[in-house]
Chain A
């Protein structure tokens, strides 16, 4: 029996509140309608208490309390909006704005930005404290995601979603203080990083520090190019969410208005991604049956989610061959648009301009894969737009979306079954595949068509077993890569065995994709209720349909009859199947727990690596192994003089710690150097005693004479200057160290003489 929860009584703004023990002040306040503003807080992520906007006054406490992180206690008296609190909150928000570009009116998140909204609500109408702003280069290297650190307010939600929900650990906060910045390890461009392009970072970002790469320009151009045949496909999850961009409640199915809008935008043909979802199911169910019957590699794992495919390629290369060779529905549709459809309309494939409307940022990257090209080098999908980008296009074209009449998808690639519709939600691909596999194996239809036990695997992965004509098929479904990782570890260790696994990279599946409309203005990203409503739009549509099994799709049948011959034929393989990359594993690791990989990772013959490896081996503490990171980095720096990416990658593999975390640590502490120091390192103590006695003048003189600034090294690699924290020899102030030699009572005049004693030799 569950232990009864202890109830706590307190007052908030003079109103009595009773809430279970452990509730935070923030959540208890919601009960009485006290909405405390928040920025860094997110209910599905760990609580960090960073932004301090949710401060409240608690009687008896000397300082303000961050209500998101503070549990209620018996008799507590809380005030959520005293004049002092209001002013402090206002000032904190202003401080964030002071370090944020003043470009709201040209920003993609204008009027859809949590910071802007809070600043408005808290009455920041003038700037009292503005000064220097941080500036970092915008990272536009990725095909999918733009990182704009200038707009980052360091709430850390992206880093938390990246590690806690997705388990990718690409992003972490590097450097510190005013220079803190969210970036991948080693300040790599997103394209070189371990990023798998899922886009959850931009989903949770309260501002525009992460955005999708905008491909609308190319699409506009194609739409206005009389020589192009513009063909667009719409993924299942779009219809469940696009309405939110036009003020409709989540879960409003907008399928037929989307078709009209796309026609009005000028697309020549509007096809349904669900058509190829049916096609995928047929191919994938056949693949499953073959793999089981021919004792081929199992479990078969779905491959429709490109973030997921990236994840496997980067972190589980040994499981790449478990991925279904079926292209994603987008890939299949693109292939048909370039290979099949031109023959129907007598056009040259080169004239076709193929666009995918996807709920997903990773699809942008997927569309660039060399595997998704014709022999002539024509990309199957020329541009991928997110739901958001389509919303902008519709608005830019002045189309009153809600007032549009309904239109059906174009034929012949526009029909679909209910099975294809549910592709957009976690568990949907599996359910659709089972409906068809059952028919293929038994020749009869699955009784009780629904498979509700595997729907909505958001919090954890779900598993089930079905018996198809005596063949036991063990299945599992996961959404969110953190869950997928847990599942895969069980599979890898042999603890759990499956024949078929469905994984979608985003929590809740495509409906919660990184390209879906921002929910920030009325709800929170990842909100389970929103996900449920979007999913129900798809499941309801399934219920309404007569044809609910992919193999019942008559146009798909026709396609096989006229072009593909039969299920899994050579043509089908050529057109609809793909292969994956085995060489994308990063040098460092991001996923911990792969002890095999750690133990088998080669160690260079270089004696310093040998020594570092031996040092790491001395750590016997299996439970708290990770806690030795700093000593290991210190050892590495001793050996190598500084921490190169190669060294940090090595540590990452050997200690099973994500590189982003190592980089975050390396850039946090003064001790660690990412660049080699000079042969002679001049370290000047800047403790109080040294400062008061003129250490700053010594530094200035050093800078003048050596022509470098603090933290830099001369080009010849001879000299470097650094500031040392208190050396603890205050009686000798100012103190300077050259390597290990101590100089006391240093005056600027002596600096030149000292430098002369350290000449190149």
Chain B
């Protein structure tokens, strides 16, 4: 299976394992071209799709091709892109908007940043094509203010595209006029949710609104709006460069094309990878990612960030596509893929994600605002050794209520990391609650420290102990007073002789 786009990459990086198994479509130019020079993008067949469309296509044909390609939104839920555009096209309005959601907020995901920094024009081209298809003349890129370099490159790209008449009035001599402006997000994870994003673009608190009305009908400034994320936009020109049939050759039955993942955590090769839909987790983690480091054992893969779930070993051969991941109890999400090894405590991980969504909750609806707080309290007490019988049931009860009752996607998915880890790692939770033990030795309050015979009495641990729990004469074995010990672990990391045991 060769393809012009991937082969360029293979020619240059092909003999490196990390790249061999990848299929670089949306990231086709990243690392190969100078993102601040439009000529390099044009030279790599850039804006050719737009030129062709403006010459030969009707708006409806553009949408038909997108539908035929099977492209689905890469932002998380996987809504069919063509359908979204069709809804917006079908609404009559004096003004419409095309929005690029570049408010990448998942902790541990940086696909959008990397894609924009490496190849900003492909996003502009994708948005412009959509503008033509739905009859919009304005595009807005909503991007995190925390990404100054990406912002700068987009600004340069927009400027250059205007100079080349690829944006602005009568693009390439056609009747079509389209402009793109940047709006900076001010740091709120919930703004990844489209109605919250709209509020934020409008200068308000980024709080979601009830749907309907959907953005396709009433979006930015109350006008019909298409919102897609960076990766989706980067896919759009591809559909037209080689035709929708070629595009839909890749992937699985319902999930076409490729997906970019930010591979991180306890894996040897961390970084961005782009694979065909349907590639298994095992291939990504072990073939591309090079497996787990330090001879540790794989424990789980977390996909979908704070909205997703944890998949243990038996799911390693799950093909990566929207349906399979959902079936396995997680989600595709925007592409975060965190690998966890045996040293990772699943309760702690669930707590981390919930802590994140809890602090990112906008506070508008009760289930998310109050419910995640209570779930976090329960999780916290479990990790601190104060878990009680019935806590798991409470987590499940709150979790399923929050999922079904919250106003927006953030709330509806906030319990996922907890629910999925309870489902997959119930025993680990129970050991925290009933045996007061953290099998991965992560939860500090559940650990005990003892000094073994390896101790030479150097006194380093004694000096390091913040609460004077360690006693012992010089050059004699020291001891830890368990009543005073606060399980901070300072002695453990200070000891040069591995004389302190943690259990």
Partner of B107, one of A629, A633, A686: A686
In the bound complex, do residue B187 and residue A95 qualify as a contact, i.e. CB atoms below 8 Å apart? no
Nearest-CB distance from B388 to chain A (Å)?
A: 12
In the bound complex, do residue B412 and residue A63 qualify as a contact, i.e. CB atoms below 8 Å apart? yes
Partner of B212, one of A63, A71, A178: A71
Interface assignment of B124: CB less than 8 Å from any CB of chain A = no
Nearest-CB distance from A703 to chain B (Å)?
A: 13
The docked-state distance in angstroms from the alpha carbon of A687 to that of B362 is 19
Nearest-CB distance from B339 to chain A (Å)?
A: 9
The docked-state distance in angstroms from the alpha carbon of A47 to that of B204 is 17
Partner of B338, one of A657, A665, A689: A689
Q: Give the segment of B80-88, B109-117, B424-432 that binds chain A.
A: B109-117
Partner of B358, one of A53, A177, A626: A177
In the bound complex, do residue A87 and residue B210 qualify as a contact, i.e. CB atoms below 8 Å apart? no
Nearest-CB distance from A127 to chain B (Å)?
A: 10
In the bound complex, do residue B108 and residue A92 qualify as a contact, i.e. CB atoms below 8 Å apart? no
Residue of B nearest to A727 (CB): B146
Interface assignment of A728: CB less than 8 Å from any CB of chain B = yes
Nearest-CB distance from B236 to chain A (Å)?
A: 23
Interface assignment of B364: CB less than 8 Å from any CB of chain A = yes
Interface assignment of A180: CB less than 8 Å from any CB of chain B = yes
Size band of the A side of the interface? 35 or more
Residue of A nearest to B339 (CB): A692
In the bound complex, do residue A670 and residue B363 qualify as a contact, i.e. CB atoms below 8 Å apart? no
Residue of A nearest to B269 (CB): A731
The docked-state distance in angstroms from the alpha carbon of A212 to that of B265 is 56
Assuming A50-B366, A725-B189, is B404 touching A687 (CB within 8 A)? no
The docked-state distance in angstroms from the alpha carbon of A95 to that of B370 is 6
Residues of A within 8 A of B365 (CB): 49-52
Residue of B nearest to A90 (CB): B401
Interface assignment of A298: CB less than 8 Å from any CB of chain B = no
Q: Annotate A65-90 by CB proximity to B: 1 below 8 A, 0 otherwise.
A: 01001110000000000001001100
Partner of A687, one of B108, B145, B302: B108
The docked-state distance in angstroms from the alpha carbon of A70 to that of B113 is 36
Assuming A99-B370, A730-B108, is B204 touching A665 (CB within 8 A)? yes
Q: Annotate B363-385 by CB proximity to A: 1 below 8 A, 0 otherwise.
A: 11111011101100110000000
The docked-state distance in angstroms from the alpha carbon of A756 to that of B365 is 45
Residue of A nearest to B206 (CB): A668
Q: Annotate B61-105 by CB proximity to A: 1 below 8 A, 0 otherwise.
A: 000000000000000000000000000000000000000000011
Interface assignment of B394: CB less than 8 Å from any CB of chain A = yes
Nearest-CB distance from A97 to chain B (Å)?
A: 10
Residues of A within 8 A of B262 (CB): 730
Residue of B nearest to A749 (CB): B493
Interface class of chain B by DSSP: mixed
Find residues 211-254 in chain B having any chain A CB closer than 8 Å to their own CB: 212, 221
In the bound complex, do residue B210 and residue A95 qualify as a contact, i.e. CB atoms below 8 Å apart? no
Interface assignment of B344: CB less than 8 Å from any CB of chain A = yes
Residues of B within 8 A of A98 (CB): 370, 374
In the bound complex, do residue A634 and residue B186 qualify as a contact, i.e. CB atoms below 8 Å apart? yes
Residues of A within 8 A of B371 (CB): 91-92, 95
The docked-state distance in angstroms from the alpha carbon of A50 to that of B366 is 7
In the bound complex, do residue A671 and residue B187 qualify as a contact, i.e. CB atoms below 8 Å apart? yes
The docked-state distance in angstroms from the alpha carbon of A66 to that of B221 is 24
In the bound complex, do residue B363 and residue A180 qualify as a contact, i.e. CB atoms below 8 Å apart? yes
Interface assignment of A758: CB less than 8 Å from any CB of chain B = no
The docked-state distance in angstroms from the alpha carbon of A398 to that of B264 is 72
In the bound complex, do residue B107 and residue A687 qualify as a contact, i.e. CB atoms below 8 Å apart? yes
In the bound complex, do residue B363 and residue A689 qualify as a contact, i.e. CB atoms below 8 Å apart? no
The docked-state distance in angstroms from the alpha carbon of A665 to that of B359 is 16
Interface assignment of A355: CB less than 8 Å from any CB of chain B = no
Residues of A within 8 A of B106 (CB): 688, 726
The docked-state distance in angstroms from the alpha carbon of A671 to that of B187 is 6
Assuming A627-B202, A634-B186, is B374 touching A95 (CB within 8 A)? yes
Residue of B nearest to A180 (CB): B363
In the bound complex, do residue B374 and residue A177 qualify as a contact, i.e. CB atoms below 8 Å apart? no
Partner of B108, one of A50, A88, A99, A726: A726
In the bound complex, do residue B188 and residue A669 qualify as a contact, i.e. CB atoms below 8 Å apart? yes
Residues of A within 8 A of B204 (CB): 629, 661, 665
The docked-state distance in angstroms from the alpha carbon of A98 to that of B374 is 9
Interface assignment of B131: CB less than 8 Å from any CB of chain A = no
Interface assignment of B336: CB less than 8 Å from any CB of chain A = yes
Residues of A within 8 A of B340 (CB): 692
Q: Annotate A176-210 by CB proximity to B: 1 below 8 A, 0 otherwise.
A: 11111000000000000000000000000000000
Q: Annotate B293-328 by CB proximity to A: 1 below 8 A, 0 otherwise.
A: 000000000100100000000000000000000000
Interface assignment of B474: CB less than 8 Å from any CB of chain A = no
Interface assignment of B184: CB less than 8 Å from any CB of chain A = yes
Q: Annotate A96-110 by CB proximity to B: 1 below 8 A, 0 otherwise.
A: 101100000000000
In the bound complex, do residue A728 and residue B366 qualify as a contact, i.e. CB atoms below 8 Å apart? no
Assuming A177-B360, A671-B187, is B367 touching A95 (CB within 8 A)? yes
Residues of A within 8 A of B221 (CB): 623-624, 627
In the bound complex, do residue A132 and residue B373 qualify as a contact, i.e. CB atoms below 8 Å apart? yes
In the bound complex, do residue B146 and residue A725 qualify as a contact, i.e. CB atoms below 8 Å apart? yes
Residue of B nearest to A747 (CB): B493
Residue of A nearest to B466 (CB): A704
Residues of A within 8 A of B359 (CB): 177
In the bound complex, do residue A50 and residue B373 qualify as a contact, i.e. CB atoms below 8 Å apart? no
Find residues 220-241 in chain A having any chain B CB closer than 8 Å to their own CB: none
Interface assignment of A390: CB less than 8 Å from any CB of chain B = no
In the bound complex, do residue B361 and residue A669 qualify as a contact, i.e. CB atoms below 8 Å apart? no
Interface assignment of B183: CB less than 8 Å from any CB of chain A = yes
In the bound complex, do residue A52 and residue B366 qualify as a contact, i.e. CB atoms below 8 Å apart? yes
Partner of A725, one of B105, B358, B378, B407: B105
In the bound complex, do residue B203 and residue A627 qualify as a contact, i.e. CB atoms below 8 Å apart? yes
The docked-state distance in angstroms from the alpha carbon of A375 to that of B151 is 66
Nearest-CB distance from A78 to chain B (Å)?
A: 15
In the bound complex, do residue B188 and residue A688 qualify as a contact, i.e. CB atoms below 8 Å apart? no
Q: Annotate A42-64 by CB proximity to B: 1 below 8 A, 0 otherwise.
A: 00000111111101000000111
Partner of B184, one of A87, A154, A634: A634
Find residues 681-734 in chain A having any chain B CB closer than 8 Å to their own CB: 686-692, 724-731, 733
Interface assignment of B45: CB less than 8 Å from any CB of chain A = no
Interface assignment of B258: CB less than 8 Å from any CB of chain A = no
Residues of A within 8 A of B188 (CB): 176, 668-670
Q: Annotate A30-50 by CB proximity to B: 1 below 8 A, 0 otherwise.
A: 000000000000000001111
Interface centre among A62, A87, A88, A661, by most chain B C-beta atoms within 10 angstroms, is: A88
Residues of B within 8 A of A691 (CB): 107, 352
The docked-state distance in angstroms from the alpha carbon of A69 to that of B397 is 25
The docked-state distance in angstroms from the alpha carbon of A731 to that of B271 is 7
The docked-state distance in angstroms from the alpha carbon of A88 to that of B400 is 9
Q: Annotate B184-206 by CB proximity to A: 1 below 8 A, 0 otherwise.
A: 11111100000000001111111
In the bound complex, do residue A66 and residue B407 qualify as a contact, i.e. CB atoms below 8 Å apart? yes
Find residues 248-297 in chain B having any chain A CB closer than 8 Å to their own CB: 262, 264-266, 270-271
In the bound complex, do residue A88 and residue B107 qualify as a contact, i.e. CB atoms below 8 Å apart? no
In the bound complex, do residue B407 and residue A52 qualify as a contact, i.e. CB atoms below 8 Å apart? yes
Interface assignment of A602: CB less than 8 Å from any CB of chain B = no
Interface centre among A176, A661, A670, A729, by most chain B C-beta atoms within 10 angstroms, is: A176
Residues of B within 8 A of A69 (CB): 210
Residues of B within 8 A of A70 (CB): 210, 212
Partner of B210, one of A53, A66, A665: A66
Residues of B within 8 A of A657 (CB): 203
In the bound complex, do residue B265 and residue A630 qualify as a contact, i.e. CB atoms below 8 Å apart? no
A-B contact pairs, 11 of them (CB 8 A): A50-B407, A95-B370, A98-B374, A129-B378, A173-B205, A179-B363, A627-B203, A631-B184, A634-B145, A657-B203, A726-B106
Q: Interface residues, chain A, CB within 8 Å of chain B?
A: 47-53, 55, 62-64, 66, 69-71, 84, 87-88, 91-92, 95-96, 98-99, 128-129, 131-132, 154, 173, 175-180, 623-624, 626-631, 633-634, 657, 661, 664-665, 668-672, 686-692, 724-731, 733
Q: A630-B184, A669-B185 are in contact. List 11 more A-B contacts (CB 8 A).
A: A48-B364, A50-B407, A64-B404, A70-B210, A173-B205, A176-B363, A180-B369, A630-B183, A672-B186, A692-B264, A730-B110
